[in-house]
Amino acid sequence: MARPKPETFDKQKTVAENRRARFEYAVEDKFEAGIALTGTEVKSLRAGQGSIAESYAEVKDGAAWLINANIPEFSHGNRFNHTPTRPRKLLLHAREIDRLRAAVERKGMTMVPLSIYFNSRGRAKVELALAKGRQAQDKREYVKDRDWKRDKARLMREKG
């Protein structure tokens, strides 16, 4: 039997974060995926460079791919440098890939990367969310709820 996965992922160093995704999408489920990188890509990420602001993930030919993620070229990479926005393979179990594909096809959901980070073992990971797009009304409601929670916490702190 497989070991149960922890509720939160073991993030040691967050390199890139898609902060806009939590506002644009209603996150239903999260997955931790490994990412297949070349040597210069890892060095760029360790230097703190990289952006996933406009990226997304898709399932193609039985594998998950991270599309449009920008990891800039490494400054000392010479001829072994990589192309910054190439599609990168996400490392997931076959069962997880099937589950993601089914959710995207049947329920009309989207796979959105939330962050790229290094775990405690030094491996680059992607926090991938299975999400549904929010309409303008939903976004206003989300902002109203967020503001109310912040005000409520402030009031509780003041009143003791």
Q: For residue range 48-60, list pLDDT tens digits in order.
A: 889 999 999 999 9
Q: Is the pTM of this model over 0.85?
A: no
Q: What is the dihedral of CA 111, 114, 119, 122, to 10 degrees?
A: 80
Interval 37-93: pLDDT, tens: 988 889 899 988 899 999 999 999 999 999 999 988 888 878 878 888 899 999 999
Q: How confident is the model at residue 141 (pLDDT cuts 50, 70, 90)?
A: confident
Beta strand residue intervals within 3-159, DSSP E:
13-17, 25-35, 56-60, 63-67, 88-91, 110-118, 124-133
Averaged confidence pLDDT in the chain: 88
Domains detected in the chain: 13-134 (2.40.280.10)
